[in-house]
Structure 1
Amino acid sequence: MFIGGEPTLHPDLATFAELGLEHPDTRVEIFTNLAHVKPSLWELFSHPRLSLGTSLYSDLPEEHDTITTRKGSHARTVANIERAVLRRIPIRVATIENQLAASSTTRGCQPNADTTGGGGCRP
Structure 2
Amino acid sequence: MTPFAEAVRLLRERKGVTQKQMAYAIGVSPAYLSALEHGKRGKPSFDFLQRVAGYFNIIWDEAEELFSLAGVSDPRVVIDTAGMPPEYTAFANALAKDIRHLPSSVLNELSDVLQRSRTTG
More helix by share: 2
Structures share fold, TM-score greater than 0.5: no
Q: Return the structure number with greater relative CO, CA threshold 8 A, min gap 6.
A: 2
More strand by share: 1
How does the TM-score come out when normalised to structure 1? 0.24
How does the TM-score come out when normalised to structure 2? 0.24
The higher radius of gyration belongs to 2
